[in-house]
Structure 1
Amino acid sequence: MSFTPATWPRRLRSQEWYGGTSRDNIYHRGWLKNQGYPHDLFDGRPVIGILNTWSDMTPCNGHLRELAEKVKAGVWEAGGFPLEVPVFSASENTYRPTAMMYRNLAAMAVEETMRAQPIDGAVLLVGCDKTTPSLMMGAASTDIPSIVVTGGPMLNGWFRGERVGSGTALWQMSEDIKAGKMTQEDFLEAEQAMSRSSGTCNTMGTASTMASMAEALGMALSGNAAIPGVDSRRRVMAQLTGRRIVQMVKDDLKPSDILTKKAFENAIRCNGAIGGSTNAVIHLLALAGRVEVDLTLDDWDRLGRDVPTIVNLMPSGKYLMEEFFYAGGLPVVLKRLGEAGMLHKDALTVSGEAIWDEVSEAKNWNEDVILPVEKSLAASGGIAVLKGNLAPKGAVLKPSAASPHLMQHKGRAVVFEDIDDYKARINDDALDIDENCVMVLKMCGPKGYPGMSEVGNMGLPPKVLKKGITDMVRISDARMSGTAYGTVILHTAPEAAAGGPLAVVQTGDMIEIDVPARRIHLDIPDEELAARLAAWVPPVPQFKSGYSKMFVDNVEGADTGADFEVLKGQRGNEVPRDSH
């Protein structure tokens, strides 16, 4: 449905720039006309900013330029005025030291882009995992009507008759190389099969998880998360999204209307059901901070405890995102949660409807991909939050990707002081370590790395792999890729670089984990722990200037989302004073 200016219930933001005959109006409007836009486009119809994270150096988002054209088509059809805006695009597979270091910078840039320009509504065109939370965070802080459309996952990878999951296969094969089970030549041949189409990771990695989180939160149209990037239905979704944002502007349907506590609770339970990435914990905590919703690690643990993991996808299971789409996608999962009393059915979505109205008729077309509850991969699939003297503010673990026999374990710590120490020693057969030990990695948190890189899923030492062992308990203040797996305890807070107890763990200390009891304990007397902490010397600051210093000086802990305090909350979208 298209709208004429007379049908709009209020004056639009964009009219502050374009509506009128003043010198400033002519300045803004006249320059844009050099692109060949006729005068009547500035007559009061909504200006829709298509915030595009396309970049040749963000390969997961490499097809978004074409997708943006379909969004534009939808906006034109609905009577809007689409203008494409390139925004900060941080790729996990190219950015160093880690894309996570730049999530907050991207969110800041997006927020200011939205506020400072004549945008009435925004389509957030995202894909690679940090682009999804960063754009939602920026949109939440301005509270301009916004809707997410993702680029979709890659098609299945295949190698010698077996599915190859992006990321997951990389970790498996690199371990097989060290164990002598695979040759380097085979590894290089398999590389060609890992990424055979445009799109994000085809596993339930962080990109697919965050696409699912956007849909579960109500910020994307129903069914968006799983459509493959090269499927024609992905382009249809983009066009429908373009149509929908125009009506959202007319209705003044804003992120604050959608991102309620109920929406976050729905997303947390959904994350458990899909076996989603631990990275979702940090991103949703940060997003909640932007809309001033009280969300904590305790909410993650409370809401996820009884949620079975029913999506049989790598890294927790067998299949890939392509099969998830064919089986019915996220609407089927949300319907299952609703039937089990685990969904706030009245939560509002960008469609203008309640989430239950969107999913109640969803059909499951493959019960080996989306499993019955009695066949779930994990009966308690939600993120487990462990606390104790080693992690007073919490640490997280993904039970669906961990080994059941290690859920209660006590072992001798083998400590790596930082990632360089780990790399220097892990392949040495003289390293005093066996499968019963607990690998501990320090200085990889938000301040320590900096940026909290995805190194928490430390590869096992070759001497252990050659014994046929494929998992050990690993503890760090780092993150891990959503495509990774294993009994990996992450996000330990406070982090080592901030003087958390992790900083003073020593090789030979005994560490006990008890996941059912949600406990992580460094087995030394309280007095000794206090003495070690009192004697601890903070690391010498690595950075003297630039964004790196800004990041390290301002980033908060993983337990609250690793955002900047100065960026929390909503600052609105008031138009800045015109300077012309």
Structure 2
Amino acid sequence: MSTVPNSQRPFSSIVHDGPDRAPNRSMLRAVGFQDEDFKKPVVGIASTWSMVTPCNMHIDQLARDAEAGANSAGGKAIIFGTITVSDGISMGTPGMRYSLVSREVIADSIETVTGGEGFDALVAIGGCDKNMPGCLMAMARLNRPSVFVYGGTILPGIHPDSKKECDIVSVFEAVGQHAAGKLSDDELKKVESCSIPGPGSCGGMYTANTMASAIEALGMSLPNSSAQVAISKEKKADCERAGEAALALLKAGIRPRDIMTKKAFENAITVVIALGGSTNAVLHLLAIAHTAGVKLTIDDFTRVGKRVPVLADLKPSGRYGMAHLSRVGGLPPLMKMLLDHGLIHGDCLTVTGKTVAENLRDVQPYPTNQDVVRPWSNPIKPDSHLRILYGNLAVGGAVAKISGKEGLQFSGKAIVFEGEEAALAAILNGRVKSGHVVVIRNEGPVGGPGMREMLSPTSAIMGKGLGKEVALITDGRFSGGSHGFVVGHITPEAARGGAIGVVKNGDPITIDAVKNEITLDISPKELKARLAAWKPRKQKETRGALAKYAKLVSTASEGAVTDKYL
């Protein structure tokens, strides 16, 4: 019979050891196992490689680098795959409904393979947005020694005429400029053709780079994994070290839930704010925390955000991309600055086996001649740009991204659209005008289903020069590339009887990022009557992944997870 599980091979020994496991070993010999490999800890290497998107097109090689690192440290690595959905390619189409759903599928698939095959430790490598929280959710569920590796940022494109840097958001905003008559067909094609020069995730402080930074701050990546260019010797070395680190964590008995504590999540929130990161960080950190058994709520973002300044001058609201942050030193100098000012918990454990403070002990400040990250005395904003809003339009909360450049309050008249496509058409054809609050509803987790990102409408608003004159609110969500006066994650969503579902054209709406309120300015009696008369729409999907998601998903304010109510 099989032997008792080995402390350094707690799961693989059950699969590999003993005469009765000869069939198991026979199968493994066919995929490259030698006699000595059956005595080694097995490290699963979860690769999100795909030619679906430039974010992930290089990850097959990174997985082999991680495999080499694990093998050199005395383990036996096995590479396996999972899916990705490209947000940038599916954006503005019905396919975008699958984006957030893919986070759950990624988590399920990594959990399934790792659990089914008896891996003792795990390295996961992610590129496009949902890869990262999906990988972390799987790690939290499995609670086996694990390291996350970010696939790395793309380099900026260079416009052939202006020689200015450009990226994917440049293209989305160029669509609005084209609609406004500011760009010709040929000029639009030039922007389209130069903005994505090769492998790597979207280059600003959009969702991929935001989540990579949050995961590093959380302690689940090696130092500076978040701020490396996708095609670089630093990223190759990061993958090799991650394979080695997984074995070291196994030997030390350090598991993900030892690292992912409440204080670690507070560190992640702090870093996201200091970087001016994406609203999606709220959704994903809530989901990861739920999976890890940590009590984190949207109100923790307000509590932490009151004392954390925005310091990084990064796109979409700022001037620089992630490659620029990489060149001046990456994330560690920022974390050291936050630690020195008492905003980071230095005693949190990380995947190095050391604490945050120990990792940062010898980190040097940013060069004095750089302006990617502002000095402490001159922040971009003295407190958080991520605002959790409440009010009669969002009894369960909403998330706004207010940099201050667009102002801190907005009042206007509602112009209502049932879905993203209708709103985008109205913005491009000129129906949306100064003073409007664009309301896009039935795009929430249930109503979409899938909670699409509204990058196309927000970029069209900016491209048409209406960024300070038009607000946009939705029960959907935003790409990290969205900026302007935008409010998403409105809870309850329209499909669940939320007030956003009964807003009418011309209704006055007030958004206040100082009081953190979002208000439909009609009488309580009128609102009550409208809600009483509201009837749910027929569910769009009745079979398949989207239908299952709509049936199981929690609210956006709870992270839009699919196991909350199980």
For Structure 1 versus Structure 2, the TM-score category normalised by the shorter chain is over 0.9
2:532 to 531, 534, 540: 534
Encode CA deviations 1:25-59: one digit per residue, 9 max, x unaligned.
1111111102342111102x110000000011132
Encode CA deviations 1:312-349: one digit per residue, 9 max, x unaligned.
11112111111101111111111111111110010110
CA contact (8 A) 1:171 1:484 kept: no
Match of 1:563 in 2: 561
Distance in 2 (CA, whole Å) between partners of 1:285 and 1:340 is: 25
Deviation at 1:161, TM superposition (A): 4.1
**1:109–1:176: structure 2 CA closer, same or farther, 3 Å change rule?**
same
CA contact (8 A) 2:100 2:130 kept: yes
Task: Report 1:32-71 matches (<5 A).
Answer: 32-43=28-39, 45-71=40-66
CA contact (8 A) 1:316 1:377 kept: no
Gapped regions of structure 2 (runs ≥ 5): none
Deviation at 1:224, TM superposition (A): 0.5
CA contact (8 A) 1:305 1:384 kept: no
Q: 412-421 vs 69-78, which deviates more?
A: 412-421
Match of 1:85 in 2: 80
Deviation at 1:10, TM superposition (A): 5.0
Match of 1:438 in 2: 437
Secondary structure of 1:511's counterpart equals: strand
Distance in 2 (CA, whole Å) between partners of 1:437 and 1:122 is: 49
CA contact (8 A) 2:166 2:194 kept: no
**1:18–1:442: structure 2 CA closer, same or farther, 3 Å change rule?**
same
Encode CA deviations 1:511-562: one digit per residue, 9 max, x unaligned.
1111111111111111111111110010111122222211111111110100
Match of 1:523 in 2: 521
CA contact (8 A) 1:511 1:521 kept: yes
Match of 1:493 in 2: 491
Partner AA of 2:449 in structure 1: P
Task: Report 1:225-244 matches (<5 A).
Answer: 225-244=226-245
CA contact (8 A) 1:447 1:497 kept: yes
Secondary structure of 1:474's counterpart equals: strand
**1:176–1:11: structure 2 CA closer, same or farther, 3 Å change rule?**
closer
Encode CA deviations 1:388-410: one digit per residue, 9 max, x unaligned.
0000011111122x5343x1122
Deviation at 1:367, TM superposition (A): 3.2
Deviation at 1:382, TM superposition (A): 4.0
Match of 1:103 in 2: 103
Secondary structure of 1:318's counterpart equals: coil
Partner AA of 2:23 in structure 1: Y
**1:469–1:486: structure 2 CA closer, same or farther, 3 Å change rule?**
closer
Distance in 1 (CA, whole Å) between partners of 2:189 and 2:121 is: 45
Distance in 2 (CA, whole Å) between partners of 1:326 and 1:398 is: 26
Partner AA of 2:85 in structure 1: A
Secondary structure of 2:55's counterpart equals: helix
CA contact (8 A) 2:449 2:540 kept: no
Secondary structure of 2:413's counterpart equals: strand
Gapped regions of structure 1 (runs ≥ 5): 569-580
Deviation at 1:9, TM superposition (A): 4.5
Deviation at 1:258, TM superposition (A): 0.5
CA contact (8 A) 2:434 2:466 kept: no
Q: 114-123 vs 451-460, which deviates more?
A: 451-460
Encode CA deviations 1:374-427: one digit per residue, 9 max, x unaligned.
332222234110100000011111122x5343x112211111122243245334
Distance in 2 (CA, whole Å) between partners of 1:398 and 1:142 is: 33
CA contact (8 A) 2:458 2:472 kept: no
**1:360–1:315: structure 2 CA closer, same or farther, 3 Å change rule?**
farther
Distance in 2 (CA, whole Å) between partners of 1:465 and 1:91 is: 23
**1:417–1:155: structure 2 CA closer, same or farther, 3 Å change rule?**
same
CA contact (8 A) 1:54 1:62 kept: yes
CA contact (8 A) 1:456 1:490 kept: no
Match of 1:481 in 2: 479
Match of 1:112 in 2: 112
Encode CA deviations 1:268-326: one digit per residue, 9 max, x unaligned.
01100001111111010000000111100000111112211111111121111111011
CA contact (8 A) 2:62 2:236 kept: yes
CA contact (8 A) 2:392 2:519 kept: yes
Task: Report 1:336-485 matches (<5 A).
Answer: 336-363=337-364, 364-365=366-367, 366-400=369-403, 403-405=405-407, 407-429=408-430, 431=431, 433-455=432-454, 458-459=457-458, 471-485=469-483
Distance in 1 (CA, whole Å) between partners of 2:472 and 2:564 is: 33
Encode CA deviations 1:457-478: one digit per residue, 9 max, x unaligned.
624888x976776552111111
Distance in 1 (CA, whole Å) between partners of 2:490 and 2:82 is: 32
% identity of equivalent residues: 35
Encode CA deviations 1:6-36: one digit per residue, 9 max, x unaligned.
xx755521010101111xx111111110234
Match of 1:136 in 2: 136
Secondary structure of 2:410's counterpart equals: strand
CA contact (8 A) 1:156 1:163 kept: no
CA contact (8 A) 1:256 1:291 kept: yes
Distance in 1 (CA, whole Å) between partners of 2:465 and 2:54 is: 37
CA contact (8 A) 1:121 1:246 kept: yes
Partner AA of 1:27 in structure 2: P
Distance in 2 (CA, whole Å) between partners of 1:516 and 1:524 is: 21
Match of 1:572 in 2: none
1:503 to 495, 501, 504: 501
Distance in 2 (CA, whole Å) between partners of 1:68 and 1:11 is: 22
Match of 1:20 in 2: 18
Encode CA deviations 1:157-192: one digit per residue, 9 max, x unaligned.
211345434232123212211222222211211222
2:26 to 4, 15, 30: 30
CA contact (8 A) 2:180 2:428 kept: no
CA contact (8 A) 1:317 1:377 kept: no
Deviation at 1:126, TM superposition (A): 0.7
CA contact (8 A) 1:438 1:475 kept: yes
1:274 has 2:275 as partner: yes
Q: 160-169 vs 436-445, which deviates more?
A: 160-169
Match of 1:312 in 2: 313
Partner AA of 1:134 in structure 2: G
Distance in 2 (CA, whole Å) between partners of 1:198 and 1:184 is: 26
Distance in 1 (CA, whole Å) between partners of 2:381 and 2:423 is: 31
Deviation at 1:211, TM superposition (A): 0.7
CA contact (8 A) 1:495 1:502 kept: yes
**1:228–1:567: structure 2 CA closer, same or farther, 3 Å change rule?**
farther
Give the TM-score normalised by the residue count of structure 1: 0.92
**1:367–1:567: structure 2 CA closer, same or farther, 3 Å change rule?**
farther
Secondary structure of 2:227's counterpart equals: coil
Match of 1:209 in 2: 210
Partner AA of 2:117 in structure 1: Q
**1:15–1:110: structure 2 CA closer, same or farther, 3 Å change rule?**
same
Distance in 1 (CA, whole Å) between partners of 2:41 and 2:500 is: 52
**1:174–1:491: structure 2 CA closer, same or farther, 3 Å change rule?**
same
Pairwise CA RMSD: 2.0
Task: Report 1:316-335 matches (<5 A).
Answer: 316-335=317-336
Distance in 1 (CA, whole Å) between partners of 2:466 and 2:121 is: 55
**1:36–1:507: structure 2 CA closer, same or farther, 3 Å change rule?**
closer
Secondary structure of 1:374's counterpart equals: coil
Distance in 1 (CA, whole Å) between partners of 2:447 and 2:165 is: 33
CA contact (8 A) 2:492 2:498 kept: yes
Deviation at 1:442, TM superposition (A): 0.8
Match of 1:574 in 2: none
Secondary structure of 1:32's counterpart equals: helix
Secondary structure of 1:384's counterpart equals: strand
